[in-house]
A and B are shown apart, each in its own frame.
Chain A
Amino acid sequence: MSTDTGSGRSLSLGSPMRWIEDLSDAQFAYLLLAPGLIVFGVVAFWPLFRTFTMSLHADVLYGPERLGAFVGLQNYVELLTGQRNAALPRPFLDLSEPLTSAVTVTIIFTVVSVFFETLLGFGQALVLDQDFTGRRWARVAIILPWAVPIVIQGMIFYLLFQPTVGFLVEPLHQLGLISATPQASSFDSLLIVIVADVWKTSAFMALIILAGLQSIDRSLYDVADVSGASKFERFRTITLPLVLPSVLVAMLFRTIGAMRVYGLIDTVSSCSTVPSLSCLVVQSFSASRYASAATVAFVTAGLIAIVVSVYIIKFADVDGGGGF
């Protein structure tokens, strides 16, 4: 009865109001979300769109203009075929020198760091999922690196690997793991940057995976116990499949972060020694090659999009299309 009264009242209102009243719940929800979505859309897509339009122009090095004539996709063609390498601080992609070309360095960094972060993060999460005295302190200890500001962490690792300052160079050099001047070598520096990243972000992985572990229904383990499953079987048949979606989400976030790594490289090493894709963007930008910078930035965004879609497809498989 009350609904009748309601619709009767709405007749006396103006038509936009009546239109709102007539919406279904789902439609009304979208209506309320619309302003937020528009803002997000503008914030997220406008820069991407601007970057793309900038990348369609020529670089201009003289005069007050920042962008030159419209050249279509020429920047992309030159970048991908290697003709633009001369104007970049390090080659975009040069398979003959994988340790100093941006795409390969970025991929190596991403794959190695995300692999070890997942492994360590998973291990940490399994430990934290147990009940033991002092668990709270163990949590603090594990999460602490995540709280260290990137510049300070960068300084720590930079100094650790300065010969005559850091204590690590000499023993690691004696062991034959790194050279006497690690920050002058691209291989050693990449290694150091990866170690620094793993040190910092394993905690992030641990947190997300821990959340997944804690949402597992404990009674499943009771069932496993009753059916006499070994510890490994418990892990393989219950823990792993149920926690996998969380692991994938954590890996997805870390992969996106790793593919646009810049700050850590800039503080621990240098963009010249360990050139990531973002390094190329920043360096071309400061050399006033705005169009080149935009091109590399857009290609980087594209690469990230490809990797993300791989994860999303994989995630759909695991989760039966649940989305996140």
Chain B
Amino acid sequence: MKLRWLLPAVLAFGLAGCGSTPPPVDTRDETVSLVYGYFDMKDAPSTLEWVSIKKYDSTVKEGRWYRFEAKDGLFFHVGLQPGSYQVERFGGMGGILLTRRPFEYSFGGKGRNGTAVRITKPGVYFLGQHEYVNHAGKGLFAADKFEMRQANAPSERELLQRVIKAIEADPELAGYTRQLHQAKQRLAAL
């Protein structure tokens, strides 16, 4: 997992921002948290390659987004500041050959959704496991064609084990020892 994907992306407009790569999360920053979650996209027309979560801050007009890379449904970030967050969008590539193209989905924007979390102090926060449920043909519009439903599997424990394994395996994440330690403490408590 490349570090550049784990960095907070403060974008003027959603995910579309280009421009310069933001600086890495300071490994010595003791205010930030490890956040992770899981989306089962077996029923979706694309894979899951990224997840964008929004920080809700009424003092910032455009909000602040963090983009997570996703792998096999799992996504995590080692550097979220205290605040209120929830998944806003996610997406990935779908189709084959000439029909291959990016897909993007909205998790739902009517108040609080199933991934909402308040980070009050540095720690480990789980956004839950959700599955994409296809309602193709049910509605006329994209938003009517699927829902994200809470899933029972994989377990939080299993997902946290995968997070720990991914951090330990990635040299670019080797410096985030505090987050790794806290993840192991959380795992022991589960």
Same complex = no
Binding site for A on B (CB under 8 A): none
